Amino acid sequence: MESKTTYNTIRQTVEYCLPGCRILLFGSRARGDQDRFSDYDLLIITTSTLTPREKVYWSTRLDRAIVEAIKAPVDLLLNSEDEVRQKQELPGHIIRSAVREGIAL
């Protein structure tokens, strides 16, 4: 699947499950140094904070739906805008890296 098609599919899948979310692609695919074994690292940013139970539910559902749609491995983080604001200030936090190098889908 071509990158543009893949990105559109990811965007549509997330929008269907959790409308209004922002999606950042980060990691090797965002940097352009991926290989054929690379997964898609995604930071999905919700407008409201989810409970821990909701996070597990939606992370699992999104992971399965995206993998099924693009036929490639996915590693996703699901955080609210408030959580991202807090975590991106922490040195060494994965959210900080995702925000710095991420590409909006």
pLDDT tens figures, 35-76: 999 999 999 999 999 999 999 999 999 999 999 999 999 999
CA distance to 5, 34, 54, per residue, from 92 (Å): 32, 22, 26
Domain 1-104 sits in CATH at 3.30.460.10
Domain extents in the chain:
1-104
Tokens 């959210």 found at: 95
Is the pTM of the predicted complex or chain greater than 0.85?
yes
Contact yes or no for 26/98 (Cβ under 8 A): yes
**Which pLDDT score, from 0 to 100, does residue 3 have?**
81
